[in-house]
């Protein structure tokens, strides 16, 4: 076999088969060779110096069609760019103004922030409730900054997250008696409503122009209607004239309780703690639960029969 230089020899390929251990791909072979492919970096890469466009007067004109558009926001390629920008902006404001004096949590101005559904409509992105909770936590922390040192940029940044109407800013108007010394109170229970007029008197009670005994047959309903006067010991000091509608006798009687208590607090505001202890101030939100299909009542199931 003619000998050749090792530099001109081809790389030997080895194939394994079932009967033989090795088999060569060509009839003429040279001794088996191993070639190692390695890359050696002779020197470290050096970045090109920055180009000074002001000094380069011979540069070709800029091709607008091939120019690369750079997004205005670094969060442009994220799933929620507007939300991410808002969160990063609030975090930057918190880091910038976190050393300002704050007030106690109970003394901070009460602000109604937008709900997550309202914020989704504002930014037009599917923001999760847990993610929006992070924004609200930062807003609450920023809201604790003392109003006297609140920066204008912070007020403008927080304004977009506030509701259009702040329910905490609504001040309830106090009712007053008219020229005849008559106070009015409205009460509701279930589907019943009652409008009560309370005037100083000897303890007369008229409901829809009738006596209380003719309207409410049960003793429990009669006591419920005037419970506000009885709990405060004012039964023989005021006359009650009421208009009731809707619901049954029990609902109308308990609606009278709330309406009488509201009218009594107009005459004597100091009785509010006593009326609250008697349970006459809070509106009862309980209602009859609706019947469900497949059940006898709201929750009662028919008797189960095996066969």
Lowest-confidence segment of 73-77, 233-237, 254-258, 275-279 by average pLDDT: 73-77
Q: Note the pLDDT of residue 4.
A: 44
Lowest-confidence segment of 30-34, 65-69, 282-286, 297-301 by average pLDDT: 30-34
pLDDT one-digit tens code per residue, 95-138: 999 999 999 878 888 899 999 999 999 999 999 999 999 999 99
Band of pLDDT at residue 28, cut at 50, 70 and 90? low
CA distance 177 to 281: 19
pLDDT one-digit tens code per residue, 163-216: 988 888 777 777 888 888 899 999 999 999 999 999 999 999 999 999 999 999
Among 13-22, 31-40, 51-60, top mean pLDDT goes to 51-60
Taking the CA atoms of residue 242, residue 243, residue 248 and residue 252 in that order, the dihedral angle to the nearest 10 degrees is -40
Helices of type H across 73-128: 81-97, 116-123
DSSP state string for 224-254: HHTHHHHHHT-TTTEEEEEEEESS-HHHHHH
Average pLDDT, the chain: 84
pLDDT one-digit tens code per residue, 129-146: 999 999 999 999 999 999
CA distance 89 to 163: 20
- What is the percent of the chain where pLDDT is above 90? 64
Q: Note the pLDDT of residue 189.
A: 96
pLDDT over threshold 70, residue 6: no
Q: Note the pLDDT of residue 43.
A: 52
């Amino acid at each position: 076999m003619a000998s050749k230089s090792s530099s001109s020899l081809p790389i030997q390929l080895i194939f394994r088969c079932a009967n033989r251990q090795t088999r060569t791909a060509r009839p003429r072979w040279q001794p088996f060779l191993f070639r190692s492919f390695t890359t050696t970096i002779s020197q470290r890469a050096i970045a090109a110096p920055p180009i000074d466009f002001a000094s380069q007067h011979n540069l070709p004109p800029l091709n607008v069609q091939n120019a690369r558009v750079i997004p205005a926001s670094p969060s442009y390629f994220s799933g929620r760019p507007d939300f991410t920008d808002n969160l990063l902006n609030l975090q930057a404001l918190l880091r910038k103004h976190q050393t300002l004096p704050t007030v106690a949590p109970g003394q901070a101005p009460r602000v109604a922030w937008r709900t997550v559904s309202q914020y989704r409509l504002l930014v037009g992105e599917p923001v999760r409730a847990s993610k929006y909770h992070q924004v609200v936590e930062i807003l609450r922390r920023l809201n604790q900054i003392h109003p006297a040192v609140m920066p204008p940029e912070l007020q403008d940044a927080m304004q977009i997250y506030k509701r259009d109407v702040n329910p905490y800013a609504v001040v309830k108007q106090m009712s007053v008696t008219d020229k005849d010394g008559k106070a009015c109170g409205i009460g509701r229970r279930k589907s019943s409503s009652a409008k009560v007029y309370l005037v100083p008197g000897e303890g007369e009670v008229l409901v829809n122009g009738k006596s209380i005994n003719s309207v409410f047959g049960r003793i429990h309903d009669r006591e419920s209607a005037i419970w506000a006067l009885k709990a405060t010991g004012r039964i023989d000091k005021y006359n009650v004239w009421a208009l009731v509608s809707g619901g049954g006798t029990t609902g109308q009687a308990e609606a009278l309780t709330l309406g009488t208590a509201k009218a009594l607090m107009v005459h004597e505001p100091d009785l509010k703690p006593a009326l609250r202890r008697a349970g006459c101030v809070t509106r009862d939100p309980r209602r009859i639960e609706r019947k469900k299909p497949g059940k006898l009542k709201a929750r009662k199931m028919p008797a189960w029969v095996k066969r």
